[in-house]
Amino acid sequence: MARMSMIEAIRSAMEVSMAEDERVVVFGEDVGYFGGVFRCTQGLQQKYGVARCFDTPINESGIVGAAIGMAAYGLRPCVEIQFVDYMYPAYDQIVSEAARIRYRSAGQFTCPIVIRMPTGGGIFGGQTHSQSPEALFTHVAGLKTVVPSNPQDAKGLLIAAIEDPDPVIFLEPKRLYNGPFDGHHDRPVTPWSTHPLGEVPDGHFTVRLGEAVVRRPGKAVTVLAYGTMVHVAEAAAEEAGVDAEVIDLRTLLPLDLETVATSVKKTRRCVVIHEATLTSGFGAELVALVQEECFWHLEAPIMRVAGYDTPYPHAQEWAYFPGPRRVAEALVATMEA
Amino acid sequence: MGVDSDDMNEKTAASLSFQVPEPEVRPGETPDFSHVQIPRAGSVPRPPVDVEPSEIRDLAYSIIRVLNRQGEAVGPWAGGLDEEELREGLRHMMTLRAFDARMLTAQRQGKTSFYMQHMGEEAVSCAFRRALEPGDMNFPTYRQAGLLIAGDYPMVEMMNQIFSNEADPLKGRQLPVLYSAREHGFFSVSGNLATQFIQAVGWAMASAISRDTRIAAGWIGDGSTAESDFHAGLVFASTYRAPVVLNIVNNQWAISTFQGIARGGSGTFAARGLGFGIPALRVDGNDYLAVHAVAKWAVERARRNLGPTLIEHVTYRVGAHSTSDDPSAYRPKTESDAWPLGDPIIRLKNHLVAIGAWSEERHKQAEAEIMDKVIGAQREAESRGTLHSGGQPSARDLFEGVYATMPPHLRRQRQKAGF
Ligand SMILES: Cc1ncc(C[n+]2csc(CCOP(=O)(O)OP(=O)(O)O)c2C)c(N)n1
Ligand SMILES: [Mg+2]
């Protein structure tokens, strides 16, 4: 075990994968010599050479398209898009190509690629460094979508993603890179070294895709969250004094519906939260599934707390961010419903 | 035959190797720009604006320069600006540099979240702006604030945007320096690279469709030319002979990535235009007179309905990419000192002194006056608030302007939020 930040854990995952499997290659903008603008790939080029970790031209469509071609050849590319806000030029390659190659070629060609992308807000990045577009991926048949909330999971999930036979969208909540963040932006930043989930196993280890985990056990209401919002949910439960069970979904697709339904059937209440905009967000899918599975167990309408349906603002970041106060209000409202 | 094919098998069996371009030097090594071929000032001919693009393919591989080492303006591209215009150009560049210095400090003091400077590249946007007419439209990147400064856009407004304060013309919505100033011919800057390049072409096509006289200018960095939207811009401009000037600002770096990664096997960025039949010129981007002369040439072509021009401004990003960047991790610390095209402000200043239109004393005095003006503007802007203190844009504003009319679901969200 070692204490790691999320950046170090992600780097460690790539390092382990590259050491064990020479088909694993890593590339993206500023990823090679410099080691990425968030330093996730630092040292990989030095260790494994420019043929396995390299800088690319600034062309996201090119990055993903090249990864698909390499995967068709038999490599296992793990590429970085500098911010998920810059994936749109690659969306055609992701949706029309990566997601469907196995299906359309009847398995002659497959696409075992990982696309790593920093996601979410909380860094005053304005509308092009703050988005949470996970629903644009979960809506696409053929993609898996993963959002870790801590260093330990980040490493285990990333290794699992690299070893997965299908394309995996790996969204890294950038506000969590250097420490857990519960939405209280006015409090001092705490590093991962003081958090139990900053303990990361050495060497190879995986967290299976499609397995959620109960982060905080409780009896009164189930909170479904992922990424940064897991920490926000934990803080909100404390502050509202509500005995909430917080589930960290970890993988959005495939979804661990069993863990979700078991919890909701127990608590009989459910609040779904995400940073992403509300309308047609992944929360809508969760609400639909929970009511399909648990309708006769529910004692209150399922509630959502999400980003407002506007572009992500700059100055009004904390008015926009669905922080602990808004989540706590929803918890209380659900209990009173 | 059989023997031959055996031979061939042996040849094809030799294994391939993967090739990645590398910069000449890395941190710790001695800066080396000997690979940058620099023609003598005044040596590149000036063709007529209605020249056949195929006749000036050389210009995509050369560098048009006007100011020589002695500070003289020489050759066929010289002579377009009078003394007063040159002094004004110098003041614009000095203003931009002072503005940058103050805003970098303000960022360090926490008055804003982020800033991007122009150090070393001031001539490009400042000189280009003076070749345009009122009504023309720029589609800039984040590194062309000289278009605003040289277009007499109030500095206070720029600072209000940078501070995201209550007077921010963009209501706190945008990242600092992603200005928008329609009345000053400055399209809203996007955080997504290259998108503006094809939009500039579209604006120019619209002007032609509407039988207007206005033209557009597109802007892009060397690194961003790799984006597909750059190529979309070129093909549309080429097909419709759009009245647009397409500017590539080659400042040698794209964050940590040297220009060779985006340029690939193409000799120069300007050469990208040749395959599209677009006249392509390279210009010394640190030479105010050369930038202005080339801009004028291209603007005239567009205005006379002769179609697009591609300009590669050869310059150097002296500062960090942004306040989030530290270039010492990827290039030698002294690389900017070794840059062979010098500093645009010093070069224009020396020229003005050489022709007797300026002096050390006047320069010092101008420096002080300019700094006073910038500080005055900053004081005014700060009185309306900075990112974390004083006047703020209202949280209510967050919901405005997503649509022309706020739809019911947003109205509900705002109500519930209590703003
Ligand atoms: C579509 C997209 N991809 C990536 C980025 C991240 N990014 C911002 S600036 C930059 C480098 C751009 O370099 P260049 O085009 O040379 O312009 P310069 O900064 O040198 O002026 C990158 C990769 C982005 N903003 N948008
Ligand atoms: Mg550049």
**What is the full DSSP assignment across B249-260?**
EE-SEETTEEHH
Token pair for B168: 């921010």
Q: Of B172, B261, B387, which is closest to A57 when you measure between CB atoms? A: B261
Which residues from A are below 8 Å from B260, CB to CB? none
Say what the alpha-carbon torsion angle A210, A91, B227, B241 is, to the nearest 10 degrees.
180
Residues 6+ apart with CB under 8 A from B357: B83, B86, B87
Token pair for A327: 């989540």
Q: Residues of chain B with pLDDT > 90: what percent?
A: 95
Chain B contact for A29, CB < 8 A? Answer: yes
Distances (CA, A) of B280 to A189, B77, B239, B294: 51, 16, 16, 11
How far does the CA of residue A324 sit from the closest CA of chain B (Å)? Answer: 14
- Mean per-residue pLDDT, A16-28: 98
Say whether pLDDT at B80 is over 60: yes
- Mean per-residue pLDDT, B6-25: 80
Which of A86, A92, A93 has the most ligand 1 atoms within 8 A of CB, as the residue to mutate? A86
In angstroms, what is the span from residue A58 Cα to ligand 1's centroid? 7
The pLDDT, as a whole number, for residue B332 is 96
Which residues from B are below 8 Å from A58, CB to CB? 193-194, 223-224, 226-227, 254, 257, 262
Token pair for A25: 């290659």
- Mean per-residue pLDDT, A5-30: 98
Q: Of B261, B393, B398, which is closest to A320 when you measure between CB atoms? A: B398
The pLDDT, as a whole number, for residue A14 is 98
What is the three-class DSSP state of A108? coil
- Mean per-residue pLDDT, A214-228: 98
pLDDT tens digits along B175-188: 999 999 999 999 99
> How far apart, in whole angstroms, are the C-alpha atoms of residue A62 and residue A263?
43
Domain(s) labelled CATH 3.40.50.920 in chain A stretch across 213-336
> How far apart, in whole angstroms, are the C-alpha atoms of residue A143 and residue A158?
15
Reply yes or no: is the peptide bond before residue A254 cis, omega within 30 of 0. Answer: yes
- Per the prediction, chain A carries an average pLDDT of 98
Out of 3.40.50.2000, 3.40.50.920, 3.40.50.80, 3.40.50.1360, the CATH code matching A213-336 is 3.40.50.920
The pLDDT, as a whole number, for residue B2 is 40
Q: How confident is the model at residue B397 (pLDDT cuts 50, 70, 90)?
A: confident
The pLDDT, as a whole number, for residue B100 is 98
Categorise residue A30: left if φ over 0, alpha if ψ from -120 to 50, beta otherwise: left
Which residues from B are below 8 Å from A86, CB to CB? 192-193
Bridge-based pairing of strands A2-3 and A199-200 is antiparallel
Residues 6+ apart with CB under 8 A from B12: none
Token pair for B177: 């320096």
Is the beta carbon of B255 within 6 A of some atom in ligand 1?
Answer: yes
Packing angle between helix B83-108 and helix B155-163, nearest 10 degrees? 20
In angstroms, what is the span from residue A5 Cα to ligand 2's centroid? 31
Query: Do the chains contact at B175 and A279, CB–CB below 8 Å?
Result: no
Is the beta carbon of A2 within 6 A of some atom in ligand 1?
Answer: no
Which residues from A are below 8 Å from B113, CB to CB? 124, 314
Is the beta carbon of A245 within 6 A of some atom in ligand 1?
Answer: no
Degrees, nearest 5: CA angle A220-A221-A224: 155
- Mean per-residue pLDDT, A138-166: 98
The CATH class that applies to domain A2-200 reads alpha beta
Is the beta carbon of A38 within 6 A of some atom in ligand 1?
Answer: no
CA nearest to B197, candidates B242, B247, B239: B247
Say whether pLDDT at B3 is over 70: no
Tell me which residues of chain A, numbers 38 to 97, contact chain B at a CB-CB cutoff of 8 Å.
50-51, 54-62, 85-86, 88-89
The pLDDT, as a whole number, for residue A285 is 98
* Of the listed ranges A254-263, B63-72, B254-263, B393-402, the one predicted with least confidence: B393-402
Degrees, nearest 5: CA angle B9-B10-B13: 85
The pLDDT, as a whole number, for residue B272 is 98
Strands of the sheet containing B137-139, edge to edge, are B137-139, B216-221, B244-250, B309-314, B280-284
CA B220 to chain CA centroid, nearest Å? 7
Chain B contact for A313, CB < 8 A? Answer: yes
In angstroms, what is the span from residue A178 Cα to ligand 2's centroid? 29
For residue B329, give the chain A residue with the closest CA: A34
Closest atom of ligand 1 to CA, residue B116:
19
Query: Do the chains contact at A57 and B398, CB–CB below 8 Å?
Result: no
> How far apart, in whole angstroms, are the C-alpha atoms of residue A334 and residue B415?
19
How far does the CA of residue B327 sit from the closest CA of chain A (Å)? Answer: 10
- Mean per-residue pLDDT, B335-364: 97
pLDDT tens digits along B286-342: 999 999 999 999 999 999 999 999 999 999 999 999 999 999 999 999 999 999 999
What is the three-class DSSP state of B413? helix
pLDDT tens digits along B139-170: 999 999 999 999 999 999 999 999 999 999 99
Domain(s) labelled CATH 3.40.50.970 in chain A stretch across 2-200
In angstroms, what is the span from residue B312 Cα to ligand 2's centroid? 12
Say whether pLDDT at A247 is over 50: yes
- Per the prediction, chain B carries an average pLDDT of 96
CA B109 to chain CA centroid, nearest Å? 27
- Mean per-residue pLDDT, A292-319: 98
Say whether pLDDT at B271 is over 50: yes
Which residues from A are below 8 Å from B384, CB to CB? none
Catalytic positions of A are 129
The pLDDT, as a whole number, for residue B5 is 45
Degrees, nearest 5: CA angle A114-A120-A125: 120
- Mean per-residue pLDDT, B87-110: 98
The pLDDT, as a whole number, for residue B10 is 53
For residue A319, give the chain B residue with the closest CA: B395
